Chain A
Amino acid sequence: MISLGSYLAISFALFICGVAVMIARKNIIAILLGIELILNSAALNFVAYTKFVNNNIDGHIMSLFIIVIAACEAAVGLGIVIRFFQLRESVHVDDAAQLQN
């Protein structure tokens, strides 16, 4: 039997990884991947808590929502990245420091 602590540990590890990726990497696509990791850690937390604490399907529904939102976010994010690449021929995040063109 896998305990709640293990789930949370993995979730925590995923979260830390995601944050680390978002902070450390300069590639926008990599940052988007970091965001995916964070979202997944949150989804894992929901599933773990709903299994061990209140035994209903609220957490599952939330995690499904998170997956859908992550997909949407990836689609929108990647769209922005493609457009940005067309403008600047770069996916480096520090090139996107300006509000104006």
Chain B
Amino acid sequence: MHDDPRFGRFFVYLSLFTSAMLGLVVSDNLLSVFIFWELMGFCSYSLIGFYYEKEGAGNASMKAFMTTRVGDVFFLLGICAIWSVVGSVSFVDIYNAIGDGKFNNLYAIGIPLATLAGFSIFLGTVGKSAQFPLQVWLPDAMWGPTPCSALIHAATMVAAGVYLSLRMYPLMEIGHLTTLIAYIGAITAFGAATIALVQTDIKAVLAFSTISQLGYMVIGIGVGNYNASFMHLITHAVFKACLFLSAGSVIHSIHEQQMPKMGGLRKKLPYTFFAMLLCCFAIAGVPFFSGFVSKDRILGDALYMAMHSPVYIPVAILGFGGALLTAFYMFRMLFLTFFGEPRDHHIYDHAHEEHISWNSNVPLLILAVFTLGIFYSGSFTGQGEVKLFGEKYEWFQTLIQKPEAKNLAHFKDYKKEEFGFEDTRVKDGWVKAAYDPNYGLPEEEAHHVHVAHKIGAAMSVVIAFLGIFIAYLMYITKSMNPARWTETFSGWTKALHNKYYFDDLYINKLIQGAMLPFNNFLSWLDMGVYDRFVVDGWEKVNRVAYKMARWFDDNVVDSGMVDGTGASVRLMNVVLRTVQSGKVQMYFIILIVVLASYVWTLTV
């Protein structure tokens, strides 16, 4: 980075981004969230296009900006819809309104207004968090510098979308959008994981894995596990930032992003390898790592929902399938990069030997330490089954409480000025919201939940190790040949390389095929109709009006009034000049005449 041009500009954008992110998190209303949201969008745009000498970077920044714009427009519409009902955009007022049932029996074009508003806001999430229909921009966002990929496109900004949906969770709940959200999340999680299987660029793998993990967070919202979604947001932020920085460290060391040219870097980059290994364990869902705790909670709830209603079965299947693929592609990346024989000796020999330094690998190691599950949950799976500590074993779940529509009436007693000093809210609902292994359910029902979670945890462990094992067979022992698989499924491989043809669909079909003719029509309408008839016609009207105005100005104002004033002054001047002749006798005559006439008027 240091040798790059525009070094200062990079930090300006990054600082602006950080302040916008902080602003978004401290905002207590949707409008300021939207403002900071857009600010982040701008910073993301500027940073993706940071190396604008490259054409790809410019196009990628444009693509990211325009794609997220689709979601943002809907987000704004959602804010308008909420404001029309609640009369406020503050979160507390919205919760109050939902608790009071203000959204009941309100319809817009035949759809419940809560659904419409919730869906619009969720589309904002879809755009920002790169969910299923609008996921195309995030892989291209890796054109930006690696630190900004780690910070913005893995840890913070994309999580802002999930954060928004979490803040608006009660609205999603009363809008009956949770099933849709779960499906979108499941499709994204699985689809992005499949694309990541065939990527050879180390950052592209991470980009798709980010989309996939965001999909898991969205599943978490969809299956109603608010807290797990939040936890996954944070654990993912940590391990994905670490993964991106590790990838950046590798790229910095060998000046190469293509994994087929790497290999055997374990000896050259031991600290980076260690950090990446820990993060890969975390993202794959190996027990005792953060990813296991949070992802297992999401998948456990998905499984529980699937057991209760068949609608959620595809969600659970896609979720577990995605977890298998995640474990596989992450270790594929790790094995290709760090294990085996160096595939390109020129690159390997020129790789910088790694020394421990504050600038490159100490931050990685710090982040790697925080991928341990113990920082997020004191129990084995995050469900409270196997307790590692005494009473306070689920501090994360105690801290972050789910605002449920049925409990929202408690917000009524919320007093802003007192909040923070003395909690004036009604206590009952909140005491219940504090961590309860039974989720406030009766013992009988809670038993089913626990069973589901235990099965889920067991499946997660099996799946994680299975994925790692397959990767081990393919890339370390070479007992399975990946090439045979790609040949057998060549059609699929091609589709995966083309990211399921979404870019083609959007750019060639939608933009070139549909939007461009529409654009041409609009331009014809503008140039041929508005310009020709309205603008030019208005010009003719103006021309006549101008002639009339000019005539009036010339004849009445100029000749009559301005020149008339001059002429009258001139006339007066002639009279007065004649009077003031300088001839004393004339003055005297005038004096006499005036006096005489005065005397005459007095007498007569």
A residues lining the B interface (CB < 8 Å): 19, 22-23, 31, 93-94, 96-99
Contact = CB atoms under 8 A, between A and B. Distances in A.
A96 B592 contact: no
Interface in B103-135: none
A31 B588 CA distance: 11
Pairs A-B, 8 closest by C-beta atoms: A97-B582, A97-B583, A23-B585, A22-B588, A93-B584, A98-B582, A94-B583, A23-B589
Nearest to B582: A97
A30 to B, nearest CB: 11
A93 B592 CA distance: 18
B591 to A, nearest CB: 10
Contacts of B588: 22-23
B583 A93 contact: yes
A99 B583 CA distance: 11
Interface in B567-588: 581-585, 588
A91 to B, nearest CB: 13
Given A22-B585, A96-B584, A97-B581, 17 more contacts: A19-B592, A22-B588, A23-B585, A23-B588, A23-B589, A23-B592, A31-B584, A31-B585, A93-B583, A93-B584, A93-B585, A94-B583, A96-B582, A97-B582, A97-B583, A98-B582, A99-B582
Q: Is the interface of A mostly helix, strand, loop or mixed?
A: helix
Nearest to B584: A93
20 contacts: A19-B592, A22-B585, A22-B588, A23-B585, A23-B588, A23-B589, A23-B592, A31-B584, A31-B585, A93-B583, A93-B584, A93-B585, A94-B583, A96-B582, A96-B584, A97-B581, A97-B582, A97-B583, A98-B582, A99-B582
Interface residues of B, number: 8
Contacts of A94: 583
B1 to A, nearest CB: 86
A35 to B, nearest CB: 10
Contacts of A93: 583-585
Contacts of B592: 19, 23
Interface centre among A19, A31, A93, A94 (most CB of B within 10 A): A94
Contacts of B583: 93-94, 97
Nearest to A99: B582
Contacts of B584: 31, 93, 96
A92 to B, nearest CB: 11
Nearest to A24: B585
Chain A CB count within 10 A is highest, among B581, B588, B589, B592, for: B588
A97 B581 CA distance: 7
A20 to B, nearest CB: 11
Contacts of A22: 585, 588
Contacts of B581: 97
A22 B583 CA distance: 12
Interface string B419-462: 00000000000000000000000000000000000000000000
